[in-house]
Amino acid sequence: MVAAAPLACAGCFEITTAEVRVRDTSRVEVQSSTGETALAAGAADGVLQRGTYVQVFSREPYEVRAGRDSSGAVSLTCEACADPGFPYSGTHDVTILDPSGRSSPTLSWSLAVEPSRVVADYQLCMIQGRHTCPVTAMARLVAPMDDVVEVRRRTEPVRIWGYLLLAVSGAMLAAMSWYTFAPQRGTSFEDRAPWGLAGAVPAFAFGGVGLWEALSPAREQVWRPPGASE
């Protein structure tokens, strides 16, 4: 049962992201999480959110702006977030739509295909504490359906889980090898061998699942609106 448990869960630890690609980035809008327009179609700049965050002995103001540069890329910028004081680290800007019209990946349940548009929600940490995020930019990228080329969904294993299982497998095999083959007072090799073999079975099982999680390829699904062209 112990050996079968990790094998039964091969592929359980996955993450699925989604992205949208558009033809004309100037038609894409950025909205706040409440649906208010921060960057209208064709606009170059707008305010997404304002507020304050707690520093050690004060509250500091910040402003997150949504901007579209000359290449068509759309980014969120926070000047006050660039270099916050101790104990925080900050991010000056994050691109959510590149010049080619491809959005940054977001979790699959944060992207919705609606009859007239595709909406991708982002929660981006602009100022990071050790265990908290004092400034989270909440943005909604909105693309009209007639501008959408494709929506791409990507599922892949959580690689770090695979590496962890490989490390556990290696440690278990090392321990079983030492127990089985190293001279032990009061027991013979013949006495230890069955126990060493029994311990090696789950170790190989963990290793097999770890290899699957670490090396198995990502899976992609692509949806295109009817009549869509490049």
Residue 82 lies in a domain: yes
Directed axis angle between helix 189-215 and helix 159-181, to 10°?
170
- Provide the pLDDT for residue 181: 81
Measured between alpha carbons, how far is 82 from 210 in angstroms, rounded to an integer? 38
Tokens 């061998």 sit on residue:
193
Task: Inform me whether the pLDDT recorded for 2 exceeds 60.
Answer: no
Residue 98: name the closest of 120, 80, 74 by CA.
74
What would the DSSP string read from start to end of 10-45?
Answer: TT-SEEEEEEEEES-GGG-EEEETTS-EEE-TT-SE
Residue 206 lies in a domain: no
- Our count of domains for the chain comes to 1
For 125, the enclosing helix (H) or strand (E) is: strand 117-128
Residue 6 lies in a domain: no
Cβ(60)–Cβ(82) below 8 Å: no
Residue 201 lies in a domain: no
Task: Inform me whether the pLDDT recorded for 129 exceeds 70.
Answer: yes
Confidence of residue 51 (pLDDT cuts 50, 70, 90): very high
Average pLDDT of every residue of the chain: 88
pLDDT in tens, 58-78: 999 999 999 999 999 999 999
Residue 120 lies in a domain: yes
Q: Report which of residues 58 and 200 the model is more confident about.
A: 58
Measured between alpha carbons, how far is 221 from 158 in angstroms, rounded to an integer? 18
Residue 90: name the closest of 50, 62, 51, 114 by CA.
62
Residue 143: name the closest of 48, 23, 9, 36 by CA.
23
Residue 176 lies in a domain: no
Residue 100 lies in a domain: yes
pTM recorded for the entire structure: 0.75
Confidence of residue 169 (pLDDT cuts 50, 70, 90): confident
Enclosing domain of residue 93:
20-147
Residue 155 lies in a domain: no
Task: Inform me whether the pLDDT recorded for 7 exceeds 70.
Answer: no
Confidence of residue 5 (pLDDT cuts 50, 70, 90): very low
